[in-house]
Amino acid sequence: MAERAIEHGAEPPRSEPGETQLFCQWLFERVGLDARAYRAETLLRRLPACLRELRVRTIAEARRELELEPALCSAAVSTILIGVTTFFRDPGVFTCVRDLLPIVAAPRRGVQVWSIGCSGGDELYSVALLLAELGMLENSYLLGTDCRPEAIEAAKSARYDAMSIKYVPASFRQRYFVQENQRWRLRPAIAIAARFRTENILASHQPGIWDLILCRNTTMYMGAEATSMLWERFESSLRVGGLLVLGKAERPLGTKRLTAISPCVYRKARV
């Protein structure tokens, strides 16, 4: 590590916006991402967390550290593209989804679900639990994607701390989780139902028609051009009657067939 390590919690010196943007572009390129697709103010705001993760004080030290240990690049990017989530975050959203899943699926017995920026898999597994309760899990396809390999590995492990499952109903916890010391592991019947893949949503696209797309608090970090492209892609990828679930601060602006039916939940209408 760099010699000028900082104490935990200490705030590093401020950096010039231009210097930050150049560093972020260099760093993101190392993990196959383009920092120009993200809002510059967000990258600037998150830079101190990145420096703390690397235990350095300046951008120059951070770059030198990453050049010496390229394996740290992914973790450094993760501190900038934060992925905070829990099971059943915003319970009202999942109540709405639960009530609509049978309607969206009819007359089929399963659904196609895609979670974008899935982080540790909490939200995709939340949907899996709802589908299990509805007797629809066996015939459903669930996919989670995230640009951060360590997030995908965490999702595949299906192990969570107490904070992650704080909104999980007690009955669900008893049926679908096994406690292991201070952590909780999903039972295999749920864990194997979801697939996870490292993917940059801005550079690739999952083919197929989806019944439910979850993309919560991901586009809020992106610029207008990137978000506009994603709204168009999501609209075309959803089945008629399908659902798009976003974060509280996100709106699918410019789309013609996505209608808000509940806070954070949009449904694709017929032409």
Residues 6+ apart with CB under 8 A from 162: 182, 184
Higher local confidence (pLDDT), 35 or 258: 258
Residues 6+ apart with CB under 8 A from 134: 98, 101, 102
Query: Could you tell me the residue range of the domain that residue 108 belongs to?
Result: 91-268
Q: Which pTM value belongs to this model?
A: 0.83
Q: What is the DSSP letter of 56?
A: -
Same domain, 235 and 139: yes
**Inside any domain, residue 2:** no
**Inside any domain, residue 6:** no
**pLDDT band, residue 270 (cuts 50/70/90):** confident
**Inside any domain, residue 237:** yes
Same domain, 223 and 263: yes
Indicate whether 34 pLDDT > 90: no
Same domain, 249 and 141: yes
Phi-psi region of 259 (alpha: psi -120 to 50; beta: other; left: phi over 0): beta
pLDDT of 169-226, one tens digit each?
999 999 999 999 889 999 999 999 999 999 988 887 777 799 999 999 888 878 889 9
Same domain, 57 and 148: no
Instruction: Kindly report the backbone phi and psi dihedral angles of residue 253, in degrees, each rounded to the nearest multiple of 5, phi listed first.
Output: -65, 140
Say which CATH number the domain at 208 has: 3.40.50.150
Q: What tokens were used for 152? A: 């995908």
Q: Into how many domains does the chain fold? A: 2
